[in-house]
């Protein structure tokens, strides 16, 4: 792996600082040529410390318009792609973050999570990048071993430099700057979204931060180690996928009806008083559940991370926590947590031989502190972004079993106290998995809501969103629709008509709970 990274770095360092466009022949009938635009002439875009490696026209297909496809590399290893509609550009720029530890260029990623084709289909010039390095997938962190430059690129620089490159390319191609610029990301992409608001306050008019992993050392280091150690038995993991199903059913029975309907969704986990001790499970399994539903602490009882596995997330535990029937899954304790601790969490990486069982809750959080400066985007002072006129739309699924929503609520409280003004909205989405990735649970998935349209209306027409419309679909059929309300209001069924109809739902401010008045 080191040899591969070194070879790529050497190739990048040998590239000229001024961008050069690959000689790619154009289709004489391409729309860009008809409008006087030449995709292959983008060597006029002066990119500092970057090299354009591909510039080619792509024909329209499916719901995607014809576009000019541009790829390039920013020194040392940030690979980016920009897609420019050859006709009917809407005058806007859209950039997406990447997920997990990134490492791949997901320009054709499906859906809306850390993806760009949905924006391209709406007429946007769209861009994405690989997070500043190459890897074999979103759980591969080997690239970070003794590589502080790559860690800084993943932490903040890859987004900032890709933004500059993309805007330069857009200006060269369309002979003008975009009228509006938007960033959207979820998970690590959500962390990147908040980082853009902090470090690039004037680059984006609107930012969507979904399920943001704002504090990587606290979450992926401390909290994931807490989960792994709690579930470690003498013969392997203590909880099984079958146990997850038992817990899921018990939580639904205890807390489903709190919003006025029984639909399999726990709408307000903060008011759900579920006690694992009521389950017909062994003492060691109940001990794991008690730990998972609690914040990690040190020997003195000090809380080390302000969030825990949320009640209501149990339908999604097999992928993230307990493992799938037949094998696989359990990505939190087996992949994300261990790989982060081996290669990314400490200034001096322990490497492949490190075991998550070695993590010391009394000493290791402090050892990770220097990396917080590189990775974390939980600074509550967004004054510069607010003063630049930026709008921030945050969302998080209540059933997120990997990036726990309690941290987002904690950040929201601190951010809105530190940075006053009507520039931000938070939407907590009941029953939704991490970024809406899984569609099999009781809540919506990523296709069930449209934060980009809400943000456009806010930025471009001054229409601040007080609710997002959501819909649960299956096989192309809408099963139900309802609003998600701007925090701290929650959607409540009024008891009249069909609960599947959004007309029966209103936004109400919740009463105080024993977990705090949020």
pLDDT digits (tens, 9 = 90+) for 193-229: 999 999 999 999 999 999 999 999 999 999 999 999 9
Can you tell me the distance from the alpha carbon of 159 to that of 383, in angstroms, rounded to the nearest whole number?
A: 20
Q: How confident is the model at residue 514 (pLDDT cuts 50, 70, 90)?
A: very low
CA neighbours closer than 13 Å in the CB half-sphere of residue 326: 0
Q: What DSSP letter does each residue of 165-203 carry, written as one string?
A: HHHHHHHHHHTS--SEEEEEEETHHHHHHHHHHHH-TTT
How confident is the model at residue 511, as a pLDDT? 55
395: closest CA among 423, 432, 437? 432
Can you tell me the distance from the alpha carbon of 13 to that of 1, in angstroms, rounded to the nearest whole number?
A: 18
Average pLDDT over the chain, rounded to an integer? 91
User: If you average pLDDT over residues 84-111, what whole number do you get?
Assistant: 97
How confident is the model at residue 48, as a pLDDT? 79
431: closest CA among 471, 393, 466, 467? 471
pLDDT tens string 268-315: 999 999 999 999 999 999 999 999 999 999 999 999 999 999 999 999
Contact status, residue 377 vs residue 219, Cβ threshold 8 Å: no
How confident is the model at residue 509, as a pLDDT? 87
For residue 237, what are the CA distances in angstroms to 123, 179, 276, 337, 394?
48, 53, 18, 15, 34
How confident is the model at residue 44, as a pLDDT? 64
How confident is the model at residue 140, as a pLDDT? 98
101: closest CA among 69, 72, 65, 130? 130
How confident is the model at residue 4, as a pLDDT? 30
- What are 193's two structure tokens? 């979204």
**Centroid of chain to Cα 88:** 29
Q: With 50 as the cut, is the pLDDT of residue 337 above it?
A: yes
Can you tell me the distance from the alpha carbon of 353 to that of 493, in angstroms, rounded to the nearest whole number?
A: 53
375: closest CA among 78, 152, 141, 133? 152
Q: With 80 as the cut, is the pLDDT of residue 516 above it?
A: no
Q: Is the pTM of this model over 0.85?
A: yes
How confident is the model at residue 1, as a pLDDT? 32
Q: Where are the domains of the chain?
A: 218-374
Can you tell me the distance from the alpha carbon of 503 to that of 196, in angstroms, rounded to the nearest whole number?
A: 37
402: closest CA among 280, 292, 325? 292
* Lowest-pLDDT range of 40-49, 57-66, 305-314: 40-49
Can you tell me the distance from the alpha carbon of 97 to that of 132, in angstroms, rounded to the nearest whole number?
A: 12
β-pairing, 236-237 vs 180-186, is unpaired
β-pairing, 92-96 vs 180-186, is parallel
Rg of the chain in Å (alpha carbons): 23
Can you tell me the distance from the alpha carbon of 102 to that of 498, in angstroms, rounded to the nearest whole number?
A: 43
User: If you average pLDDT over residues 401-405, what whole number do you get?
Assistant: 98
191: closest CA among 168, 223, 227, 217? 217
User: If you average pLDDT over residues 155-184, what whole number do you get?
Assistant: 97
Can you tell me the distance from the alpha carbon of 102 to that of 411, in angstroms, rounded to the nearest whole number?
A: 24
Q: How confident is the model at residue 239 (pLDDT cuts 50, 70, 90)?
A: very high
Can you tell me the distance from the alpha carbon of 143 to that of 153, in angstroms, rounded to the nearest whole number?
A: 12
How confident is the model at residue 49, as a pLDDT? 83
126: closest CA among 173, 78, 69, 74? 69
Sign of CA dihedral 268, 274, 280, 286: positive
Can you tell me the distance from the alpha carbon of 239 to that of 167, in angstroms, rounded to the nearest whole number?
A: 49
Q: How confident is the model at residue 20 (pLDDT cuts 50, 70, 90)?
A: very low
User: If you average pLDDT over residues 438-461, what whole number do you get?
Assistant: 96
pLDDT tens string 112-124: 999 999 999 999 9
Q: How confident is the model at residue 510 (pLDDT cuts 50, 70, 90)?
A: low
How confident is the model at residue 170, as a pLDDT? 96
Q: How confident is the model at residue 47 (pLDDT cuts 50, 70, 90)?
A: confident
User: If you average pLDDT over residues 152-162, what whole number do you get?
Assistant: 98
pLDDT tens string 177-186: 999 999 999 9
- What are 55's two structure tokens? 């510039």
Helix (H) or strand (E) holding 484: strand 477-485
pLDDT over 70 percentage in the chain: 91
How confident is the model at residue 41, as a pLDDT? 87
DSSP letter at 92 equals E
How confident is the model at residue 384, as a pLDDT? 98
Residue that has been written with the tokens 């987002």 in this structure: 408
């Amino acid at each position: 792996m080191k040899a591969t990274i070194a070879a790529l770095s050497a190739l990048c360092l040998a590239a000229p600082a001024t961008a050069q466009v690959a000689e790619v022949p154009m289709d004489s009938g391409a729309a860009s040529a008809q409008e006087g635009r030449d995709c292959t002439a983008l060597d006029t875009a002066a990119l500092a410390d970057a090299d354009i490696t591909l510039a080619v026209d792509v024909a329209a297909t499916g719901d995607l318009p014809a576009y000019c496809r541009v790829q390039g590399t920013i020194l040392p290893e940030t690979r980016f792609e920009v897609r420019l509609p050859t006709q009917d550009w809407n005058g806007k720029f859209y950039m997406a973050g990447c997920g997990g530890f990134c490492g791949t260029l997901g320009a054709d990623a499906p859906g809306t999570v850390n993806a760009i084709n949905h924006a391209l289909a709406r007429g946007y010039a769209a861009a994405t990048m690989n997070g500043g390095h190459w890897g074999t997938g979103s759980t591969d962190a080997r690239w970070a071993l003794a590589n502080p430059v790559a860690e800084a690129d993943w932490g903040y620089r890859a987004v900032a430099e890709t933004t500059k490159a993309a805007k330069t390319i857009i200006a060269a191609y369309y002979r003008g700057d975009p009228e509006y610029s938007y960033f959207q990301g979820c998970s690590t992409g959500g962390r990147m979204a908040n980082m853009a608001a902090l470090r690039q306050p004037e680059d984006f008019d609107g930012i969507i931060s979904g399920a943001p992993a704002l504090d990587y050392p606290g979450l992926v280091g401390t909290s994931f180690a807490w989960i792994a150690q709690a579930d470690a038995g003498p013969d392997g993991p203590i909880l099984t996928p079958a146990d997850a199903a038992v817990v899921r059913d018990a939580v639904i029975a205890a807390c489903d009806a709190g919003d006025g309907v029984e639909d399999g969704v726990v709408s307000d986990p903060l008011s759900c008083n579920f006690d694992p001790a009521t389950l017909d499970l062994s003492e060691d399994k109940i001990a794991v559940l008690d730990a998972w539903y609690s914040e990690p602490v040190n020997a003195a009882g000090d809380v080390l991370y302000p969030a825990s596995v949320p009640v209501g997330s149990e339908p999604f535990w097999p992928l993230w926590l307990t493992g799938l029937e037949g094998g696989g899954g359990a990505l939190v304790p087996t992949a994300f947590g261990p790989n982060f601790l081996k290669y990314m969490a400490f200034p001096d990486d322990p490497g492949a031989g490190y075991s998550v069982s070695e993590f010391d809750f009394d000493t290791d959080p402090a050892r990770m502190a220097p990396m917080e400066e590189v990775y974390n985007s939980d600074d509550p002072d967004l004054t510069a972004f607010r003063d630049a006129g930026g709008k921030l739309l945050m969302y998080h699924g209540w059933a997120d079993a990997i990036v726990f929503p309690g941290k987002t609520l904690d950040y929201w409280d601190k951010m809105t106290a530190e940075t006053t003004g009507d520039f931000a909205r938070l939407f907590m989405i009941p029953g939704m998995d991490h970024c809406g990735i899984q569609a099999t649970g009781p809540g919506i998935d990523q296709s069930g809501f449209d934060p980009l349209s809400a943000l456009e209306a806010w930025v471009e027409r001054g229409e601040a969103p007080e609710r997002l419309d959501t819909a649960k679909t299956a096989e192309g059929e809408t099963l139900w629709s309802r609003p998600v309300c701007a925090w701290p209001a929650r959607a409540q069924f009024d008891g009249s008509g069909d609960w599947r109809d959004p007309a029966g739902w209103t936004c109400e401010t919740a009463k105080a709970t024993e977990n705090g008045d949020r």
